[in-house]
Structure 1
C-alpha cells in the first residue's frame, strides 16, 4: 500500500518542531545544550531525515503513478477489486477521512501521546491538548474531501450510537460559504417593482413627454452574528491512549451532535440569545393560507408562488419524514397508490412536481418548505475544533478528561420571498 505523503509530512514537521523547541529553550536561557537535550535533538533530527527521505520517495512514486495514468488515458484498463479511479485513471481513496481520523492523525494528538510514558496516561498525568481545528472540511458533497458534508447512510448491521442519530441533509441544498469575521453583513432583497414599458419619442422639450418610467428595488442591510455550537463528553485517561476509541467518540457523538444542532438552527432558530435566525423565523417568507385544497395541490401552489412572487426557481421541497410517509401512502378512490406504492415511493427519491424531496426532522410535522435553497447561505467560521483537558471539575483526581468539540457558523436568507411555508392538512 503506498505511503501517504500527508502522514510523512506530519512526521517531518513534528520532529523539526520538537528539535526547534528544545533549541529555543536553551537559547532563551543563554546556555549550551545539556547532554539529554543534545541526545533528544539528534534523535529528532535523525527521524526528520528519515521522514524527508521517505517523503521524497513517496512523491517520486506518485509522479510515476500519474505518468502511468496519463499514458493510459482513453484506454480501458483492468482495475484491482475495490479500487476507484478518476477519469484519467488515477486511483483515489474510496471515502474521506472523518473528523475523528483527522484528530487522531494530527500532530497535536501525537504530541499529547508522546508526553505519556509508553503511550499510557497514568492517574497523575496532566492532560491538556492544543485545539485541533478543521476549517477546510467545508468543501461540499465531494466524497474525496475531508469531512464530506452529507455522508452516505451506510450503516449495515452496526448498533450503538447510530441508533439515536438521524440523517443530516440540509447542508446538501443550501449555499456553503466561509468567513473569517465574527459577524456577516449582507444585503437582503425585500421587494422589486418593474416599471419597464414602451416609451414614445419626446415631442416637447419640457413636461412629461418622452419620460422613461422608473423601476425600484427595495433592500435591507442585515447583520448576522457568528454563533458557537459546542458540547463535550467525558473520557477516561486509559481510553485516551486508544486512537480508535477516540475516533469513535469524535465521529459518532461529538461531530454528529454539532451537525444535528446546526440543522435544527437553520430551520427553527428563533434569533434570541445565541440562536440563529432560522428559515421558520425569517421575516418575508411566504406563508399562504389554504382551506379546501389537498396537500398535493398546496405543494404545487407553493412552487408557483416561488416563481411568481419570489421571481425564483424552486429546487427542492424540505419535509418531515412523517409527511413524506403521508405522500407515499396516498391512494386514489380505488385504493391505488399515487406514487407506485412499495415499488416506487417518494421516499425512494421519486420527484414531487418535478422537484426532489429532502427529508429533515428539523422541519416540524405538518409543515413543508419549498424554495430556491441557493438563496439560503451557511457561512462557516470554524467547522470543527477538538480539545482535551483534565482541568475540569474534579476530573484530574478521577483520571478523567473532557473532550470538547465546537464549531462557529452563521446562517442567513438573502431573499426571503423565494421560500414558501406550506401548512399541510392531516393525511
Structure 2
C-alpha cells in the first residue's frame, strides 16, 4: 500500500491562512449587510414615525373647535360634496329662485359619529362666515348616543315585518320506554317595525350660499340634522310609542324585571344582568339616565370618610357595573334602567339623510333668506322582547 505524501508545513500554513481569511471576509460581509439592513429600516421607521406624528398633529388640529376642515365626514361636508356638481345649487348661488335637494350618501349611524371632544361631528362653538357678516353662534347641543352603539342595517320598505321569536319547554330524560318525550316549542309572533320620518328645518341668510364650500352652510346643515334631527331619532328609539308612522321604542316594548334579591340600585342591576345571562342572553349594555348614574357614582365606602366606591371625583372609574358597559342616555327618564342584548336589537336605516335648500318658501326670495330642511327615515327592530329588560329603580327616600 502506497503512502500519501505529507504536505509541507509551509503549504499547510498558507492554506490555513487562506481559509481563515475567507471566513473572516465572509463574517465581515455578513456584519456589513446586517448593519446596512438595520440602518435602512431605522431610516424607514423614523420616516414612518414622522408621518404618523404629522397625521396625528393634523388630526388634532382639524378636530379642534372652529378649526378648518374636519377629519370626520359630517353630514354638512357630505351635502356640500353633492352640491359641487348640482346645477340647482349653482343657480341658487346666483340667487335664481328655486329649490335644491342634496342626497347625502351616509348612513344614519355614520351621521351620528362624534369627534374626540364629544361634540357632534363637525360641530364647533363658532361658525365662520364672510368677513362682512361675522360668525354665526351655534347653540349648545347634545350628541346622539344610542345611534353610535346599536347595530343597524339598511331596509327598502316603509314597514318591516319580522318574527319575534320565543321558546317554551325544556329537554328532559325519557324515564321509561314508550313515555312521551319532552316537547320544546319554538314559536314566534309576526311583528311590524314602522319607519318614522323625522325632519327639521331652519332658516339662514343668503350669505351661507355665498360661503359655498366654507363652513357656514356646512355648519347650518350639521346643527339642523346631526344634532336636532338625530337627537329626536335617539329619543324615539327609547321612548317611541309605536303605531302608524311612529317608532316602537325600547322602553315601551321591554320585558319588565322585578328583582328578588337586590335592594340597592347596583344590586338590582346586577340581578337583572345575571337573570338575563342565565336565560341565555348576552347582556352587554345597560342604559341609564345620566343623573341616576351620577347618584351611583356618589356611593361612598362608608359614611365616615370621603372614599368613593366608583373611584374619586378626580379619577372616576369607567362607566361599568358587573363587567357590563353603562351608557348614560339623557332621553331615558330618571328612575328607569334598560338592559340590552344588542344581538337582537337593530336600527333600521330606511332613507339616508337628505337636505333641501329653498329660497321659494313664503317670502324668502325677497328677504334674502334660505330654508334648510333636513330629513331622514328610520325604525327599530327588536327580534326578541326578552333581550330588552326594564327595571324601575326605587324612589329616593325622604
Aligned: 1:161 with 2:151: no
Query: What is the distance in 1 between the residues matched to 2:348 and 2:114?
Result: 16
Q: CA deviation at 1:251?
A: 0.9
Contact persistence 1:138–1:148 (CA under 8 A) = yes
Contact 1:306 1:419 in 2 (8 A): no
* Deviations, residues 120-169 of structure 1 (Å, cap 9, x unaligned): 43xxx30311x2223543566xxxxxx46354334598364352x11321
* 1:272 Cα deviation from its structure 2 partner: 4.2
Give the aligned partner of residue 149 of structure 1.
113
SS at match of 1:378: strand
Checking the alignment, whether the CA contact within 8 Å between 2:159 and 2:195 is kept in structure 1 is yes
Q: Does 1:175 align with 2:147?
A: no
Q: CA deviation at 1:214?
A: 1.7
CA distance in 2, matches of 1:195, 1:426: 38
Mapping of 1:332-411 within 5 angstroms?
Answer: 332-335=302-305, 336-345=307-316, 349-411=318-380
Query: Shift of residue 408 of structure 1?
Result: 0.7
CA distance in 2, matches of 1:394, 1:265: 34
Residues 96 and 394 of structure 1: CA distance in aligned 2, closer, same or farther (over 3 Å): same
The alignment partner of 1:296 has SS state of helix
Relative to 1, partners in 2 of residues 1:393 and 1:291: Cα closer, same or farther, differing over 3 Å? Answer: farther
Q: Please report how far the alpha carbon of residue 110 of structure 1 lies from its aligned counterpart in structure 2 after TM superposition.
A: 4.7
Q: Say if 2:340 and 2:387, in contact at 8 Å, map to a contact too.
A: yes
- Mapped to 1, the partners of 2:94 and 2:260 lie a distance apart of 65
> What is the TM-score normalised by the length of structure 2?
0.73
Higher Rg of the two aligned structures: 2
Give unmatched runs, 5+ long, in structure 1.
Answer: 1-70, 85-92, 141-146, 203-208
The alpha-carbon deviation at position 287 of structure 1 amounts to 3.1
Secondary structure of residue in 2 paired with 1:392: coil
Does residue 195 of the first structure (1) align with residue 170 of the second (2)?
yes
What is the RMSD of the two structures over their aligned residues, measured on CA atoms? 3.0
CA contact 2:349–2:378 (8 Å) conserved in 1: yes
1:175 touches 1:375 (CA, 8 Å); kept in 2?
A: no
Distance 2:199 2:109 in 1: 21
Q: Measure the CA separation in 2 of the matches of 1:376 and 1:135.
A: 24
The CA distance in 1 between the partners of 2:340 and 2:198, in whole Å, is 26
Give the 3 Å change call, closer, same or farther, for CA 183–397 of structure 1 in structure 2: same
Q: Return 287-296 or 267-276, whichever deviates more.
A: 287-296
Residue 71 of structure 2 is matched in structure 1 by 95
The within-5 A match list for 1:9-20 is none
Aligned residues: 325
What residue in structure 2 maps to residue 245 of structure 1?
216
**What is the TM-score normalised by the length of structure 1?**
0.69
Q: In 1, Cα distance between the equivalents of 2:151 and 2:383?
A: 11
Q: Deviations over 1:364-400 (max 9, x none)?
A: 1111111212321111011310011122222233222
